[in-house]
Structure 1
Amino acid sequence: MRLVIAECQVDYVGRLTAHLPMAKRLLLIKSDGSVSVHADDRAYKPLNWMSPPCWLAESPVPDGVDAQAYWVVTNKAGEELRISIASVEHDSEHELGVDPGLVKDGVEAHLQELLAEHVDTLGAGHTLIRREFMTAIGPVDLLCRDAEGATVAVEIKRRGEIDGVEQLTRYLELLNRDPLLAPVAGVFAAQQIKPQARTLAEDRGIRCLVLDYDALRGAESTEFRLF
């Protein structure tokens, strides 16, 4: 991982445009190729980012741009993050190694197990493809198919908050790039879902599902058993 603290301006050019005026920010360049821009707040989300596959190149500073360096991050769709760097305060690289992944608490892990076992809780005709379906940014809790055969990604939380919706949104963005899976719908499942999280999820077309832990524990398994 490369960490750069710099006085910079960031412009996104793609389906929409977005502008971050000159200010001191943290730039993260990860080994998976992703580039994200952070302020000293908003722990759950960068100010702007480019998900992999994308490519960072240092380009000549354009005429009229007051900067020491000019980075252009491009993805395969042709979208760009244009980063104008006025000064660099810190620039270092670190090898983090392979991450073991998030270890869910007992209730959350058991919810995932129970929902996989009783996948029809998502709706009649749903079937499980697999648990912990790996993406470039982490595993999706459950990957399923609905009654029509469409792919469904399920993120499971004990308490559903905005950061969980953001996490599922990132998974959906990646999964929908795979022509073998797309279109992929999202389900945000939790024992409790905060109103703000529900509003954000529904605005993004993500279905919310409140889970009854006790009912799932007491339900008869649909798995084949020898005894």
Structure 2
Amino acid sequence: MRLVIARCSVDYIGRLTAHLPPATRLLLVKSDGSVSIHADDRAYKPLNWMSPPCRLEEQPGVWTVINKAGEELRITIDEVLHDSSHELGVDPGLVKDGVEADLQRLLAEHITTLGEGYTLVRREYPTAIGPVDILCKDAAGGTVAVEIKRRGEIDGVEQLTRYLELLNRDPLLAPVSGVFAAQQIKPQASVLALDRGIRCVTLNYDALRGIDDSDGKLF
């Protein structure tokens, strides 16, 4: 990535025209060929930019960025205050925290979140139509199938219903009850689950991680 701080003006010439009068700005040139112009505000959003594929032509005092449609981003540079290049390498990408796999692992580790006396049988219990997120036993020894979602919607209830129909055909497991667990459960999903005898449990991700600061909350 190349970082240039310069006093410059910018003109966009294409389907629309736009002009930025002279000011000190940050110019970003990335390895994918994109060029963006930033002010010292607006968070991440640039004042103007040219997305790849495009090419940068540098001449004394003028940068011209041209995309495949022939549109131009013309940067007239009056003074360069800083110019440096940095090799960032390949970015591994965003790793989301709190996805369903994380919820499943944490709930399995803290299975008594579902109730006192619950014990884990296994995660990803295999069936002919796909794995059940968690199979466990309740305090009375009954089998419980748990479907886990970040956002609980009707489709998740339908999915758990199919698992329950299949699992209850197995005499070694039946009767099997269901728990629909999610960080947030839509009202329509709650109604459908109740109608089908499925219990809904709202999961607190931070509490499962052991960092729920309930003492520090006003409400």
TM-score of the two chains, using structure 2 as the length reference:
0.52
Q: Deviations over 1:105-162 (max 9, x none)?
A: 8611100000000000010000000000001000000000000100000000000000
Aligned-partner Cα distance in 2 for 1:125–1:106: 26
What's the counterpart of residue 102 of structure 2? 110
Output aligned runs, 1:101-180, within 5 Å.
107-180=99-172
- Name which one, 1 or 2, has greater alpha-carbon Rg: 2
Moved segments of 4+, more than 4 Å: none
Q: CA deviation at 1:218?
A: 1.1
Tell me how far apart the structure 2 counterparts of residues 127 and 188 of structure 1 sit (CA, whole Å). Answer: 17
Rounded Cα–Cα distance in structure 2 between residues aligned with 1:112 and 1:172: 18
Residue aligning to 1:215: 207
**Alignment-derived partner of residue 201 in structure 1:** 193
RMSD: 1.8
Query: Which stretches in structure 2 are left out of the alignment for 5+ residues?
Result: 1-95, 212-219
Query: When the two structures are superposed, what TM-score results if normalisation uses the length of structure 1?
Result: 0.50
Q: Secondary structure of 1:135's partner?
A: coil
| Residue-by-residue CA offset, 1:58-95 (whole Å, 9 max, x unaligned) | xxxxxxxxxxxxxxxxxxxxxxxxxxxxxxxxxxxxxx
Contact 2:134 2:145 in 1 (8 A): yes
Structure 1: 5+ residue stretches without partners: 1-103, 220-227
**C-alpha separation between the residues in 2 aligned to 1:218 and 1:130?**
22
Q: Secondary structure at 2:131's aligned position in 1? A: strand
Counterpart code for 1:123 = G
Q: Equivalents in 1 of 2:143, 2:209: separation in Å?
A: 26
Q: Deviations over 1:34-54 (max 9, x none)?
A: xxxxxxxxxxxxxxxxxxxxx
Q: Is the 8 A contact 2:98 2:205 kept in 1?
A: no
